[in-house]
Each structure stands twice: as C-alpha cells, then as structure tokens.
Structure 1
Amino acid sequence: MPEPGGRPVLHREGALVDQQRTWSTAGYRPDTQFSVWQQIIADAFVPAEVARPDAGEGFAADCGACPVGDLHLLGLSSQRQTVERSPAHVAARRADQYFLNMPVAGRGRAEQGGRSVTGGPGDLVLVDGDLPFRLDFAGPFEQLCLVIPRPLLDPLLADPAAGTGVAIRGDTGPGALVGALLRSLAEHVDTLDARQVRGVTDHLLGLVAMAVVEASEPAVRGRAALLQRALDEAERSLGDPDLDATELARRLHISPSYLTKIFATTGTPFARWLWGRRLDRAWAELSPERGDDRTITEVAHACGFVDSAHFARAFRTRFGTTPSQWRTMGQ
C-alpha cells in the first residue's frame, strides 16, 4: 500500500485538514504514479478498475480520510479517469457501505442500476458499494465522499435501491443542507470532540436520508411511498413510549392490519423494527465516546423504554453486554 503523503487533499475552501490518513502520488516516479493511484483507490474505497483515457507518464492525485464517528469523510483531488466496480469485484469483496459523492470542483457522472446522473460542484449522488457502478470524470476534479455503513442508512429508507444513482440537487432543499454540512465538516471536524461528532453524525444521517428520499420520490410509489412515510414518522417518534403499530397507523390514517402488511415487505415486523431502532439509538447515546451525563434510566426513557429492567435485558440480548458495561468500556 502506498505510504501516506503529507499535504492536504483539497486546497480551496472546504479543504480537509489534519486528516488521520492521507495518500499522494507525489514522490513516486511519473511512470508509476497511475498504478499507485489505482492501489490508493482500492485501499481507501473498494477494489475497482481505474482507467485513464489518455496514456502518458505522470498522474498527480491525492486522497485523505478522516473518521467522523461511525462514518468516514474522504477528500480527493485527481485527474481525468473512470472507476468501474464490476460484478466480479463485488463478489470478491463486499463493501457493506454507501458512498455519498459531492464534487467540489469539476464534474462527474455516476452510473448504477440502469440510471445515469451527471453532477457539478455541490451536487450529490449516493452509490451502493455492493452493486456494480461506474464513475466517469472527464477532467481534473476535487470531490468529497462520505462513507456510510449500510446498517446506519438502510433502516431509514423504505427502498434503498431507489435512492442510488439518482441526482440530489445541491442548491436547494435537504441536498443543500447536506452539502453545507459536508463542507463544514471537512474544514472543522478536527475541532470537534467525540460528543459533538456523535451529535453531528446523527443529524447528518437524517438529512442524508431526507435528501435521498426526496430525490428518489418519482421512483417510489404506492406501498413503498407509504412505508417511507411510516419509517419517517416512527424515526421521529422513537422516544414516544406510546408509539406502537396501532398509534402509528392512526397517525398515517391507515388500519393497523395494513401497516403490518406494508412492513411485511421489509421482512421485519414493525414491533421488531421499532425494538431494534430504539436499542440502536440507546447504543449510540450510551457510547463511551459520547460522554453523555444522563443516567442509563434517563437514556432508556428518552429512547422510548418505560421499564429500565426490561431495557437492560433487551440491550444485553441484542448487543451481548449490559448498558453500564458498554458505557464504561475502555475506561
């Protein structure tokens, strides 16, 4: 694997600073720089075929990665190229993550699932690392990429596949908010403590889900659209101890039996989905990195659990450790 470089990836407003890991083709012989870049892409992202349309010596490119809680923010500055992840690449190594790409300079095209979208600075596109895709950059470019683990985003989307390879406008609506937050994170993430980072990532995931849903609405119809409304309402109300299938159905103006039917398409009954989301929220709130000063009982209540003993048993069943053990881990 190439050795880390020593300079920031992006050199204009929104640049990543003080990254935990940087790579660069600088310092390598010109005739080896492109092969070094190919290896950087495999190491920093996923294995893929990286090609350049114009053969020649020399290939100036940089990449930097910075952890943001459970997410990773990467910055790239590179040259004209294509990046193609084939079915063979996917079969060889699954990613279990999404890439939210936003050009900072230059333009790029993304193709996935039969859809093709071209975007310029500020626009966004979500790419599924576990499906074949192609990225095409017709000239020099700079880009931010947010790497999102699949288990963090999928529960927020009724139809995740409908949200990949679609254009998310960066000049209006939730897409503009996501873009502004990514640029701000790239510049200031090194000034945030662990608790602040956790709060930012929770907020960011909700905005990303909102932007993806808005961009994919034309493709999400009927039961899928209703399921998305149910997921959104339930996610907003995780802390409401009265939330159950009957109450959610009432808010959506449908029958409980119909709510059960639309959740059946996910393979997870609503009660189990709600149980899992509340526990996942509690896991995040009690993270040793978060430094939350609330008691475990207060966190349990904030996540919709009324009985602290029941919460502790459910937590241990799901995660294999008690809330107090998890909270003090590493201390």
Structure 2
Amino acid sequence: MPLTTIDTSSVAERDRLDFWRSTVCDQFVTLDVRPGAGPAVRGSVTAAAVGDIQLRTIQAGPHRFDRTPGQVRGADEDYYQIALARHGSTLVAQDGREAVIEPGDFVLYDSSRPFTFVTAGDFAYSVCLFPKRLIPLSEVELREATAVRIDGRRGVGAMIPPFLAALQRLDDDDLVPAAREAMHRTIGDLYTTVIRSEIDSAAPDGVHLSRARAHIREHLADRDLDPASVAAACAISVSYLHKLFSATGTTVTAHIREERLQGCWRDLARPELAGLTVAAIGARWGLPDPAHLSRAFRARFGVSPSTHRSGAH
C-alpha cells in the first residue's frame, strides 16, 4: 500500500507545534496534543490503509494526549484501536483503568470515550484503527477490555505484532474487493479474539457462553433460532442463558441479530455474490423479510443494504 510519512522536520521550527497538532488529529482522532518539548516538538507519522482499516506508526518525544468528552461528541467515526508499543514507556487510562505499556506490549482503547496517553520519554507505536461498527461485540465487552496491558509476546497477544507488521507491507491497490472484505473480517475476528481472551478468561461461565455463541454462529440461517433452542442445545436453562448474555451487556436476541447483520454486511460486499438479491442474502442469514432487513441494517450501520453493496463494488 502507498505509505505517507509526515515529519515535523519538513516545516519551519516556528510552525512545528501547530503542524504537529494538526497532523496527529488528522491521522488519528481529534485530541489535545501536548508535547513536552513545546514549540520545539519533533515527531513523525506514517499512514496507510486497507479499505476502512487505518494503519499508523508514530514516534516523537515526551507527550500527553487527551481525548476529551467534547471531542468524543463531535466525532464522525468511532474506532476501536490497538496501540503496540515499539519504544518507550506509556501510561494509558480509560474507563477507570490504567495500564503501563512498554516495548512488546499493546493496549486496546475506544475513541468513542475519553482516554489519556502519557509518555515517560521518547516513544514509538504501531496503531491499527478499526471501525467500531464492524466489531460484533456488545458495548460492555468492548469497554471491559480497554486500558488493559496485553503481552504481545505470548498467548493470543502474540498474533498482534507480526500481523500489524504484515499489514504495513500489504499493497492495498493489489487487493480485489473480495480480498479486501476478507481482510476486514479477519481483522474484526482478531479484535474479537483478543477482547474475549481478556474478559472471558477469568469468567467461570465462559465455557457455557462460548458454547452458546458457537451454536448461534452455526445456526444463523435457521429462522427458528431463539433463546429456547440455544439453551436446549447447550443443555442449560433459558434463564441461565439470559443471565450469561446479560453479564456481557446484551441479550441473546440482540446477539443473534448482530451476528446476522454482520453476515449480511460481509456478503453484500462479496463480488461473487453480486448475482444474489438483497433478499436472498438476508435469507442466507435468517433475515428473509426484505423490509425488516433494510430497517435493521440501516439502524445498525447507517446505510441501506443496497447502498452498502453499491459502494463496496
């Protein structure tokens, strides 16, 4: 993919502070940017993209970055982000938690809520900004995984550093639409895997919840899929099933609807399925009523199924 590098050394010293603040806000999200060096700030950002996925590297001297409530309210797009530390030590705060990340560690954070980054000195990060609307997780699940230090050298976390490095080398211009859409799914699944590995690992009910989610994924085309059938397949009571999903901030029915809509979103962008009508794709995911699908799809993603399809193709 074409890489764009923006460096403070390219402008006169008297203009660098304003230039740097504008660069950071343009390439990430709107932030209060306070470099420790003041007007003599030095730093660079490298930017690239794969479809809707934004990839950034940033390096600079000591800084404090704050995402304020006012900036959150004025946002055009919400991103769930991974920041992988390459150099330096950084304190990250969000949702009442604090984590210190050092080289090899990474942290998840959400641009739809305030957060703070404070570096102890020079720093460098690799950052992946992924549209929050494409992650099939409840708000509670997303919130519980922010500002938690994750070791990028072992376990599930070890998938992140090489994957980000590979994305940086990928040429987006060489990807056909189907491959680009598959990349979106892969990265969305990676975020989901990392998040659930963090918040489910300590939960005693994690096994039952995982079984329920797996059963739902395998039977989304079944129009009769409902809490009773899921509970029966998992050999638990309906009330216990509701309790499991309630603890994640959602309901069984809402989870089924989200999984179905995510499936429709992906299939509508696949060129090899262009011959299928929107109704046929909805039926593949257990949403055979075109009017209901259109309303639910627009409410979830902000566009109609047909608009999403034409834009993707």
State the TM bucket, normalised to the shorter chain: 0.7 to 0.9
Q: Identify the residue that residue 151 of structure 1 maps to in structure 2.
A: 133
1:122 alignment partner, one of 104, 109, 114: 104
Contact in 2 for aligned 1:38/1:50 (Cα 8 Å): yes
Q: Kindly provide the amino acid, as one letter, of the partner of residue 203 in structure 1.
A: T
Deviations 1:197-253 (A, max 9, x none): 2112212211212112222347x6467x57853674256425452643233223443
Q: Identify the residue that residue 164 of structure 1 maps to in structure 2.
A: 146
Q: Identify the residue that residue 317 of structure 1 maps to in structure 2.
A: 295
Contact in 1 for aligned 2:45/2:59 (Cα 8 Å): yes
Relative to 1, partners in 2 of residues 1:87 and 1:272: Cα closer, same or farther, differing over 3 Å?
Answer: closer
Relative to 1, partners in 2 of residues 1:231 and 1:99: Cα closer, same or farther, differing over 3 Å?
Answer: farther
* Secondary structure of the corresponding residue to residue 105 of structure 2: coil
Q: Kindly provide the amino acid, as one letter, of the partner of residue 316 in structure 1.
A: S
Q: Identify the residue that residue 259 of structure 2 maps to in structure 1.
A: 277
Q: Identify the residue that residue 218 of structure 2 maps to in structure 1.
A: 237
What's the % identity of the aligned pairs?
Answer: 24
Measure how far apart 1:33 and its partner are.
1.3
State how far apart, in whole Å, the 1-side matches of 2:166 and 2:312 are.
30
1:38 alignment partner, one of 7, 10, 21: 21
Measure how far apart 1:147 and its partner are.
1.2
Q: Identify the residue that residue 44 of structure 2 maps to in structure 1.
A: 62
State how far apart, in whole Å, the 2-side matches of 1:280 and 1:36 are.
39
What is the root-mean-square deviation of aligned Cα atoms in Å? Answer: 3.4
Contact in 2 for aligned 1:173/1:211 (Cα 8 Å): no
Measure how far apart 1:152 and its partner are.
2.1
Deviations 1:170-208 (A, max 9, x none): 112221113221110111143433221211221221121
Contact in 2 for aligned 1:156/1:232 (Cα 8 Å): no
Contact in 1 for aligned 2:138/2:248 (Cα 8 Å): no
Contact in 2 for aligned 1:181/1:204 (Cα 8 Å): no
Aligned length: 306
State how far apart, in whole Å, the 1-side matches of 2:304 and 2:195 are.
35
Contact in 2 for aligned 1:98/1:126 (Cα 8 Å): yes
Q: Kindly provide the amino acid, as one letter, of the partner of residue 76 in structure 1.
A: I
Structure 2 alignment gaps of length 5 or more: none
Are 1:180 and 2:158 an aligned pair? no
Between 1:93-102 and 1:238-247, the stretch displaced more is 238-247
Are 1:304 and 2:285 an aligned pair? yes
Relative to 1, partners in 2 of residues 1:140 and 1:329: Cα closer, same or farther, differing over 3 Å?
Answer: closer
Between 1:105-114 and 1:122-131, the stretch displaced more is 105-114
Contact in 2 for aligned 1:69/1:197 (Cα 8 Å): yes
State how far apart, in whole Å, the 2-side matches of 1:163 and 1:171 are.
18
Between 1:256-265 and 1:176-185, the stretch displaced more is 256-265
Please report the TM-score for the alignment, with normalisation by the length of structure 1: 0.77
* Secondary structure of the corresponding residue to residue 292 of structure 1: helix
Are 1:257 and 2:235 an aligned pair? no
State how far apart, in whole Å, the 2-side matches of 1:80 and 1:142 are.
10
Contact in 2 for aligned 1:79/1:140 (Cα 8 Å): yes
Relative to 1, partners in 2 of residues 1:206 and 1:240: Cα closer, same or farther, differing over 3 Å?
Answer: same
1:137 alignment partner, one of 116, 119, 126: 119
Structure 1 alignment gaps of length 5 or more: 1-16
State how far apart, in whole Å, the 2-side matches of 1:330 and 1:146 are.
21
Are 1:291 and 2:275 an aligned pair? no
Contact in 2 for aligned 1:103/1:122 (Cα 8 Å): yes
2:177 alignment partner, one of 174, 187, 194: 194
Contact in 1 for aligned 2:134/2:262 (Cα 8 Å): no
Relative to 1, partners in 2 of residues 1:117 and 1:199: Cα closer, same or farther, differing over 3 Å?
Answer: same
Please report the TM-score for the alignment, with normalisation by the length of structure 2: 0.80
Are 1:52 and 2:35 an aligned pair? yes
Q: Identify the residue that residue 2 of structure 2 maps to in structure 1.
A: 18
State how far apart, in whole Å, the 1-side matches of 2:196 and 2:66 are.
25
Measure how far apart 1:110 and its partner are.
1.1
Are 1:207 and 2:197 an aligned pair? no
* Secondary structure of the corresponding residue to residue 254 of structure 1: coil
State how far apart, in whole Å, the 2-side matches of 1:97 and 1:177 are.
20
Measure how far apart 1:283 and its partner are.
2.0
Contact in 2 for aligned 1:97/1:130 (Cα 8 Å): yes
State how far apart, in whole Å, the 1-side matches of 2:2 and 2:94 are.
33
Q: Identify the residue that residue 81 of structure 2 maps to in structure 1.
A: 99
Measure how far apart 1:77 and its partner are.
2.6
Relative to 1, partners in 2 of residues 1:230 and 1:67: Cα closer, same or farther, differing over 3 Å?
Answer: farther
